[in-house]
A and B are shown apart, each in its own frame.
Chain A
Amino acid sequence: MDKSFNAFKMAQTQFDAIADKLNMNEASRELLRNPMREYHFNIPVKMDDGNSKVFRGFRIQHNDALGPCKGGIRFHPQETVDTVRALSMWMTWKTSVVDIPLGGGKGGVICDPHNLSAREQEQICRGWVRQLHQNVGPLRDIPAPDVMTNGQHMLWMLDEYETLTGAKYPGMITGKPVGMGGSLARTEATGYGVIFTVREALREMKINIENTSASFQGFGNVSQYAIELYTQLGGKVLCVSCWDQKDQKSYAFYKKDGIVLADLLKITDRFGGIDKVKALELGYEVLPGDKWIEVECDILVPSALENQITAETVNKISKKVKLIAEGANGPTTPEADIVLKERNIFMIPDFLCNAGGVTCSYFEQVQCNMNYFWSKDEVLGKLDYKMTTAYHKVSKLAREKKLYMRDAAYMISVDRVVRASVARGWI
């Protein structure tokens, strides 16, 4: 990752532009430019070797005018508080753009789970909750899995929360395993949501999805399910890139006739890393990780980390590309956005495109609060409906006001949050 890149500055720049477009007053700008609350704390953990180690944790609550904060918890060695601040702001816009009654938050711990035992990870999870249990929960702030956290981490956190509060609150956290308060289809939700918006965009562009090809950055949960649905709809994926834990660098896996998801899944580790030797045996070209962006295809789906389509890399994008669907948070810098606008490449912005995850998390919370769980088709039916409705709302505004899609999405979501804040008498 580019060390000079500051995600929070980028999020603020994007917000400022929208605030100008909305002619927002100063108080509103002040309220929304920065998080409402931040929690920074230490998590001391007794390691397996008997030594103690202190990990740094965060929880940022950007805005809760529309409802309790919602956002993931990331375990990442390069985590910075500014990244978490940016992501919490994007969560506010994300919950707002799909019109669910939640605010935006994000949390993280600076750590590398690859180098931690399960017991050590559990201690980090429990320590995180011990620091925050009075400030999170079903009525305040609902965490969820994010980068390198999963359902097991959520269950440890829930268990610690319920121990501390002395009651059962399955809606305290989402992303739990099915059968333990988790929702069916949560695993698929983000990836499917990405493709629901791609499907609608192509329909509007009058492009038959069966005649399209795509390149994906990342091969984690989002990409895997996005690729599944995209190929079910008839699209062809030419390239996926992923992080190789052993080599500490990324690779791109290319196949001219289209990748076979089932084959790749068989040679993929639990972090989404593809075995490059076996991939070569299966006939894949193994290329440097940043080559995914140069693939001659119709659709690019950056679904890994932020800051991937930059002023520098944007010029590597093939002339054939017509659509970018941001499966990851913040993969495109404002400078790159300018180039993409000029090139007339249709953009489905991150906080709309990947909102399937938070929408399903919201469904999970609703189910937990009712203690009544829905069928997979019920979840997927509602998810598709919600995502499609949100997409068309943004797309309609973009068409009517001749706006870039990201700007239209921001205008809708920021406007909703401002209205809620005004209604509450905050500004």
Chain B
Amino acid sequence: MSALLGNKGKTMKIGKKFERETSFFNNDFTYLGTGLPGGKASGLAKTQEILSKYFPDGQIAGMQVNIPHTTVLLSSVFEDFMKNNDLYNIALSDTSNEDIAHSFVSASFGGLYAGDLYSLIENITKPLAIRSSSICEDSLHEPFAGVYETKMVANNQSDRTEKYNALINAIKYVYASLFFQQSKNYFRTINRDVREEKMAVIIQEVVGDQHGDFFHPVISGVLKSYNFYPSDKIEPEAGFAALAYGLGKTIVDGSNCWSYCPYYPRTPQPFNNIKDLLNNTQKEYWTINLGTINHYNPVAETEYLIHDSIFDILDRSILKHVCSTYDHSNDRLIMGIHSGGAPVLDFAPILRAETLPLNRVITEIMQACETETNSKLEIEFAISLGTEKDPLPRFGFLQLRPINISNEMVDLPEIEKNSDELLLSSQNVMGNGICTEIFDIIFIRPETFDIHHTAQIAADIAELNEIFYSNKRKYLLIGFGRWGTSDPWCGIPVQWPQISNAKAIVETVLPSMKADFSQGAHFFHNMTAHNVLYFSVDDDEAKDLDWNWIQEQKTINETKFVKHVRLQGNLQILVDGRQSKGFIFKHGAKK
């Protein structure tokens, strides 16, 4: 994938070898070990080139723009760690993720790297993010979004040894995540052997501000230069941005966040009314816990994180750039923080009043990156507000990766809305192309659907997916709410490998389950990368979905919540990505 980022299969060209005497914060980009940097680090290296070329003074519109201080542990560190500790036996076994993680945490970096890592932590008191940088992402052109774990460490302990132990345990945990079940499933899905993978790791300063015992960015964001769900008047090329308060985990996990088009930041989101908006905006955020850690758990991704409610924020002035206040008596929103009302994270002060030049910054950055890479891109970033000592707000560039766009031209036929041949249609379809290989449908049974049981539904679907995987068959998946969310109250919390054999996915609505898809989520990135056709069906379109026909088909498997039916003939699925429109015809009716 990073081939177009210009670093495929090559060692680091950017940055300096980590030297103890110059320390972490004296160089922006350093590396340890030898070998490959992986997709994420290659993307960051490319980004640094672009930023230096286009924004040599490190600023856009009064905002600092840079890559957070970063040290990359190149692939040799991983290889030495695996070899010297003889970890492949347990790593490739069927034992639990926890057991694998504990084995990795107990292993040693040995004489090669322990001293460098002990030195690296010296004089750093800011929280650090330990992130994977997959070598296969480079060599196999696969996205690997969300397959491996990221771990944040508070790094504020007074004892240097405690900080060091937290850092190395986090690195080992990220290494271990390569061999977690979800990762093994992913490799199986793409017909690859997990042993091909070699992992580089990025140790990166977390961009953010301290608020008491919490540390997080005021805004985390994902920016795409191609919008897979463009509305009527907006071209896909106008792009798309998703913003969240706090750490970016909110977005990549597929939870509620604020989405908009950077070219039209003032255009309101398509909520039907205020209540709808209140229900579907972000209410909880992720932050790093700088206070006492009560539960030592080196094999938990969230060991140093807190998931807190925005309503529990005592000093709401920290939300001044990102929220409006709900005026209950008048049933309206007032931009900014006001007493007597609940905060609503609609980012209106920034997007409408430009209290920070965020939109200008991301527009300029996206243009520069697109020009340099000649590709549609996804960018992850974080914003901090600055301090008294360093008052300029900061745009921290966290990730750059290309996104797949299909160029196949598909002409949709004219069709009667309530044609018998039509299983469903949608004006909101992601992907592009024609698919005629599907003879099976897995669907969530509307008659038994219960929002309390979305986790069980995900498990049932995963089990059926296993059968399809073994038989090398594809299927159409139909369900309610947001697919791939980590929040079981928003939709079906499946991970990508659990539905890997779905060729097309339909997200429809029930009165009890309405949620828009999050384009910033890792799940979403995997779907676009694997050319899965994704139909979002709204209230009107849902009325035309022919449930009776589906229920009449031959049942192959069923659980209380999920059913698998086999068709007499193949479905025909047509998607015109340019118009974001698509049809699904019953067993190949439309030739």
Contacts and interface: CB of A to CB of B under 8 A. Distances in A.
B468 interface: no
A154 interface: no
A195 interface: yes
Interface in B92-114: 106, 108-112, 114
Contacts of A228: 111
Interface in B71-122: 80, 84, 106, 108-112, 114-119
B165 interface: yes
A380 B112 CA distance: 9
Interface string A6-29: 000000000000000000000000
B111 A192 contact: yes
Interface stretch (A83-91, A319-327, A383-391): A383-391
A412 interface: no
Nearest to A184: B108
A382 B20 CA distance: 14
B164 interface: yes
Given A382-B161, A384-B118, A375 B111 contact: no
Contact of B115 (A184, A225, A376, A381): A381
A388 B111 CA distance: 12
A375 B165 contact: yes
B108 A384 contact: no
A49 B114 CA distance: 50
Contact of B111 (A188, A374, A382): A188
B168 interface: yes
Nearest to A234: B34
Given A232-B80, A380-B111, A385 B165 contact: no
Given A377-B108, A378-B161, A382-B161, A388 B80 contact: no
Given A232-B80, A375-B165, A388-B20, A381 B112 contact: no
A339 interface: no
Contacts of B111: 188, 192, 195-196, 225, 228-229, 232, 380, 384
Nearest to A382: B118
Contacts of B161: 374, 378, 382
A144 to B, nearest CB: 20
A205 interface: no
B168 A385 contact: no
A375 B108 contact: yes
Contacts of A232: 80, 84, 110-112
A377 B112 contact: no
A261 interface: no
Contacts of A375: 106, 108, 165
A233 interface: yes
B164 A381 contact: yes
A229 B110 CA distance: 9
- The number of chain A residues touching the other chain, given as a range, is 20 to 34
B115 A384 contact: yes
A188 B84 CA distance: 13
Given A375-B108, A375-B165, A376-B108, A381 B20 contact: no
A213 B119 CA distance: 27
B437 to A, nearest CB: 50
Contact of B168 (A192, A195, A229, A377): A377
Contacts of A225: 111
A382 B117 CA distance: 10
A196 B112 contact: no
Contacts of A229: 110-112
Given A375-B108, A375-B165, A388-B20, A381 B80 contact: no
Contacts, number: 63
A202 to B, nearest CB: 14
Given A232-B80, A375-B165, A378-B165, A385 B119 contact: yes
Contacts of B80: 232
Contacts of B108: 184-185, 375-377, 380
Interface in A164-219: 184-185, 188, 192, 195-196
Interface string A23-61: 000000000000000000000000000000000000000
Interface string B152-179: 0000000001001100100000000000
- The number of chain B residues touching the other chain, given as a range, is 10 to 19
A192 B84 CA distance: 15
Contacts of B20: 388
Chain A binding site: helix, strand, loop or mixed by DSSP?
helix
A376 B81 CA distance: 13
Contacts of A188: 111
A391 to B, nearest CB: 11
B119 A377 contact: no
Nearest to B85: A376
A195 to B, nearest CB: 7
Nearest to B19: A203
Interface in B154-207: 161, 164-165, 168
Interface string A375-411: 1111011111101100000000000000000000000
A68 B500 CA distance: 65
A37 B116 CA distance: 40
Interface string A57-91: 00000000000000000000000000000000000
A75 B110 CA distance: 30
Nearest to B112: A232
A184 B107 CA distance: 12
A192 B164 CA distance: 20
A340 to B, nearest CB: 27
Contacts of B115: 196, 380-381, 383-385, 387-388
Nearest to B110: A380
A353 to B, nearest CB: 15
A84 B390 CA distance: 60
Contacts of B116: 384
A423 B365 CA distance: 63
A366 B274 CA distance: 64
Interface centre among B110, B111, B117, B119 (most CB of A within 10 A): B111
A295 B212 CA distance: 63
A383 B106 CA distance: 19
Contacts of B106: 375
A24 B165 CA distance: 44
Contacts of A233: 112
Contacts of B117: 377, 381
Nearest to B168: A377
Given A385-B115, A385-B119, A388-B115, A380 B165 contact: no
A378 B112 contact: no
A186 to B, nearest CB: 13
A375 B114 CA distance: 11
Contacts of A383: 114-115
Nearest to B121: A381
A375 B116 CA distance: 16
Nearest to B172: A377
Contacts of A377: 108-109, 114, 117, 164-165, 168
Contacts of A385: 115, 118-119
Contacts of B164: 377-378, 381
B109 to A, nearest CB: 5
Contacts of B165: 375, 377-378
B354 to A, nearest CB: 47
A196 B119 CA distance: 14
A284 B114 CA distance: 33
A184 B117 CA distance: 18
Given A232-B80, A375-B165, A388-B20, A380 B109 contact: yes
Give 8 nearest A-B pairs by CB, closest first: A384-B115, A381-B118, A380-B114, A376-B108, A192-B111, A381-B114, A229-B111, A377-B114
27 contacts: A184-B108, A195-B111, A196-B115, A229-B110, A229-B112, A232-B84, A232-B110, A232-B112, A233-B112, A375-B106, A377-B108, A377-B109, A377-B164, A377-B165, A378-B161, A380-B108, A380-B109, A380-B110, A381-B115, A381-B118, A381-B164, A381-B168, A384-B114, A384-B116, A384-B119, A387-B115, A388-B20
Given A380-B108, A381-B117, A384-B111, 7 more contacts: A229-B110, A375-B106, A380-B114, A381-B114, A381-B164, A383-B114, A384-B116
